[in-house]
Structure 1
Amino acid sequence: MVVKALHIDVDGQVKENRDVSLVCTVNAHTKNPKWFHNNKEITQSSRVVVVSEGLEYKLIIRNVQFEDDGLYVVAFGRVTSCTTMTVKGETNQLVKEQLSGKLFSSWVRGVLGLKHLKLGLECIAEKEVKRRHSEMLKTLPHLEKPCISCSAASLYPLHNKKQCNRKQNKNKCLCSGSQYNRRPCPNGGYCSQFYDQIVFDHRFEHPELENTQLERWSYDPWSVATCYINTKGYKGKGSSKEIDCAGLLCLFINNRSYLTDGNYGVFDRARTSRNEILHNANYELSEDQLHEYLDNFKDVLEVKNNANEDVLANDESVKEALKAIDKTGIE
């Protein structure tokens, strides 16, 4: 006899993607019963398992799906017990419909492509930032300890206004007459000379000093690198993993000493694509737009130098990123 009818051993509703147990208790030991779902006998699998514990018989369903909805019957020969299970979604139907929308799905794939681009650039940026920092240190005076006398508000460059070689943004140089209360670095002009090097590397001759910490220039490559990101908010970032994709693209656009000079336009197009994806008013992309953006991301990772040689594509992380972007483009 059935002592306790078949029931679902769960608190509250049966939720999608959760594990549940259907339990029935009898009054005597018996042969293993048969289990049925919507009148079809259940075959055990890695997801659906039948177990017994004394006089208690269980049907365990892992990772419950909507197709598990319906009538369940356990049969001990002629003695049976039944119950109905209704699976509730983790999200309501309206949200599910929105998530499955074609235009929104394409937008999500665009964001995913952006993520893969960022992962592909991380290792390359880390190497380039450290390489250029090491080169710059070789041209500067030796310091026994980091300079703590200079700041973005007090530093004066190694040159004066008459000696300024800037071709653009001369009025924004620290030597400009509008820059008051500044003085050259007291440590043999170290920070002043470093600033001139940073300006020389900057394609547009206008480093963002609000992104940097001058006292770290002598030993921290990323305190220098963040000068080349023209959007504020990167001060104190210490590795490529801490920099978003827009910031990493800015490094290659604005620093002409990183990898390639003549082909920086592909990085600029990728940054524009990134902005158009993330600033999309309706979070929707057509399939054609998606593939245009993904192609722009791939162009960055496949960029060539002036000798038509691959610059990034031989790196293993870049190869993985390219494969991932290709898969993102497949519907």
Structure 2
Amino acid sequence: MTDFKDMLESSDYCNWMKCSFAQLNVKAVLAEIVEEDIKDLQKQLLHNIQTSKGLSSNTTCNCCQIQNLLPCRTRKLCKFKNSACLFHEDASLTPRRCPTNGLCDDFRIGIIDHHRFCWPSWKNTDASKWCTDSWTIAKCYMPPDGYLNVNNAEETDFNGVLSVIINCTDCQRRFSEDLNNPMNVCTKVCFDLTNNV
């Protein structure tokens, strides 16, 4: 019990707690901003695709899976065992065009076009929800591992939210600093967090 009391009275522990609370508060604010930006991106992509293809404004797709939309030999996804791709192993999940006039194919291209480095994290996303769940799109801009079961901004950790800001070019409008610069305010925060934990 005295060890615990000593720990609570330690200035290092108090500073660590203050930093943790500050990070939680900053993450909550950033998550709201990112959620709004991703909802705007989803609406913009869907509207542009519907307009360019002459589809009605209520046309959506919920039947495509990411394996259908990506060619085999997709970076960081396709792994081979005995010449069979483990990501595309189910015969029903071979790459094919979206049956809704290519809507999801264009969504995939839009997600890539809005990714600062053009390499979305396809492992996290569910293409069948792109038209209805904006956070499924946000997960394309997060690190490839650890975010598959994150369903909204609130459940997403600080690193995931910050990754969306760094990787999704639509978040640039919130910053006066150019996020294309390798050492910008967001990458500095990521660097500081990983080196001080």
Tell me whether 1:208 sits opposite 2:121 in the alignment: yes
Structure number with the higher strand fraction is 1
**Partner residue, 2:75:** 172
Q: Residue in 1 aligned with 2:43?
A: 134
The runs of 4+ residues in structure 1 deviating greater than 4 Å are 143-146
The structure showing larger relative contact order (alpha-carbon pairs under 8 Å, at least 6 residues apart) is 2
Q: TM-score, normalised by structure 2?
A: 0.75
Determine if the alignment matches structure 1 residue 190 to structure 2 residue 103.
yes
Query: Which among 187, 194, 197 is matched to residue 268 of structure 1?
Result: 187
Code of the residue aligned with 1:200 in structure 2: it is D
Question: What residue number does 2:147 align with?
Answer: 234
1:237 counterpart letter in structure 2? V
5+ residue gaps, structure 1, are: 1-91, 158-169, 280-331
Report deviation, 1:195. Answer: 0.3
Distance 2:144 2:9 in 1: 35
Deviations 1:34-89 (A, max 9, x none): xxxxxxxxxxxxxxxxxxxxxxxxxxxxxxxxxxxxxxxxxxxxxxxxxxxxxxxx
Matched residue, 1:244: 157
How far the C-alpha of 1:150 sits from its partner, in A, is: 1.8
Within-5 A mapping of 1:318-329: none
Q: How far did residue 216 of structure 1 move?
A: 0.8
| Alpha-carbon distance in 2 for matches of 1:131, 1:149 | 23
- One-letter identity of the residue aligned with 1:172: R
Does the 8 Å CA contact 1:147/1:215 hold for their aligned counterparts? yes
CA 1:203–1:173 in 2, change beyond 3 Å: closer, same or farther?
A: farther
Identity %, equivalent residues: 24
Deviations 1:17-46 (A, max 9, x none): xxxxxxxxxxxxxxxxxxxxxxxxxxxxxx
2:13 aligned with 1:110:
no
- Quote the Cα distance in structure 2 between the aligned partners of 1:219 and 1:248: 20
More helix by share: 2
Structure-2 change in CA distance of 1:173 and 1:100 (3 Å): closer
Residues matched between the structures, number: 172
Structure 1: which amino acid aligns with 2:170?
S
Report if aligned partners of 2:39, 2:134 keep a CA contact under 8 Å in 1.
Answer: yes
Q: Which amino acid aligns with 1:267?
A: C
Q: Which amino acid letter does the alignment assign opposite residue 274 of structure 1?
A: L
Find the aligned partners of 1:117 and 1:235 in 2 and give their Cα distance: 23
Q: What is the deviation of 1:139?
A: 1.1
Question: Could you report, residue by residue, the CA deviation over 1:213-234 in whole angstroms, capped at 9, with x for unpaired residues?
Answer: 1111112111111110014232
Per-residue CA deviations over 1:305-331 (Å, capped at 9, x if unaligned) read xxxxxxxxxxxxxxxxxxxxxxxxxxx
Counterparts in 2 of 1:76-95, with a 5 A limit?
92-95=1-4
- State how far apart, in whole Å, the 1-side matches of 2:116 and 2:172 are: 13
Provide the rounded CA distance (Å) in 2 between the counterparts of 1:252 and 1:200: 15
